[in-house]
Amino acid sequence: MLATVIPSSLLMQIDFLRLGRFIKNIDKPNDEYCDPQTSDALKVIFKDFSTNTNQDSAKIDFGSGLSSLFSERLSRQLQSQIEVAPERGVSYELEDSDAWFDKVVSLPDTREWIENAALSGDRVYFIVGVQTLDETRIAQKATRKEHLGNETNLSVAAVAAVMPFAELVDVPTQGEQRNLGSDEIWIKAPSQQACSIRCREVKVRRLSSQPTEPPQPSNTRRWVRKREGKSEEHAEDDGNEDLIEVDIQDVLELSGKWDTRDFTEGTIYLQS
């Protein structure tokens, strides 16, 4: 099954993430990434998912698991009762991640990025899905009685003065307190925001060609390794490993500590 990961920036503008991106840090998909440069159009599958949290926990679906994990994480961090309630969820998935991987891994710039990442000891992941939430309302029980106005556009910094969890949301927000007698204040991440990614892991192997034969790539997932910038001494340290071979597989494990939520089709991860 594919790993679904909520990045450390709990909500992000949808333009900040791309399907088919190669990343090193699965928790920070906007750091040290490679977006393959190709004129070919992605074939994407769109799926709506329910965000209703009032479900039997034994049959939890993706949307409710996502919302509850968001809520529990914020509640624990802020020692306050937090509820995350999006109006709608949409999942964008590559139609055929293997076919797209084969297409972009044949590009010289993509190969160079993967090779450099692997030789530096980094793990490499391939984004095959992005999930979004629409009009996400994040509510907190108020400890003070501030009236924020009616649907007034506020900056995150301004909202954070009375709702500190607003600093954890990486998008413009709206905030209001419904009436002077209410004990609840909230912010809303407007429009569509990226909330999680689904990835496959890129496995990289260094291979040796036959000593008496020049290295010959066998397919798009194998290529001759570059050695620019290496002295002969360092090249010898690498032995005869002159080929790079890659493959993609489901993520079997994630390093570090993660909060998880099992749902009908797998597990959602949020770093603790």
In the chain, the number of structural domains is: 1
Residue 24 in this model has a pLDDT that exceeds 50: yes
- Please indicate, yes or no, if residue 15 is contained in any of the structural domains: yes
Query: Cα–Cα–Cα angle for 37, 42, 47, nearest 5°?
Result: 140
Comparison of pLDDT for 197 and 187, the residue scoring more: 197
pLDDT the model gives residue 248: 92
- Please indicate, yes or no, if residue 189 is contained in any of the structural domains: yes
Over residues 56-85, the mean pLDDT reads: 78
Q: In this predicted model, what pLDDT tens digit does every residue of 222-270 receive, in sequence order? A: 998 876 544 334 444 455 668 899 999 998 788 888 888 888 778 889 8
- Please indicate, yes or no, if residue 215 is contained in any of the structural domains: no
- Please indicate, yes or no, if residue 82 is contained in any of the structural domains: yes
- Residue in the structure block whose two tokens are 């949409």: 90
pLDDT the model gives residue 36: 95
- For the chain, the straight-line distance linking the first and the last C-alpha, in angstroms and rounded, comes to 22
* 117 three-class SS: helix
- Please indicate, yes or no, if residue 241 is contained in any of the structural domains: no
| Separation between Cα atoms, residue 19 and residue 24, nearest integer Å | 15
Domain that holds residue 164: 3-201+253-271
pTM (predicted TM-score): 0.80
Over residues 22-49, the mean pLDDT reads: 93
| CA 181 from centroid of its chain's CA atoms | 39
pLDDT the model gives residue 158: 54
pLDDT the model gives residue 235: 44
Comparison of pLDDT for 261 and 217, the residue scoring more: 261
Helix (H) or strand (E) segment spanning residue 232: helix 232-237
- When the pLDDT of each residue in the chain is averaged and rounded to a whole number, the result is 78
Q: In this predicted model, what pLDDT tens digit does every residue of 100-147 receive, in sequence order? A: 999 999 999 999 999 999 989 999 999 999 999 998 888 877 655 444
- Please indicate, yes or no, if residue 159 is contained in any of the structural domains: yes
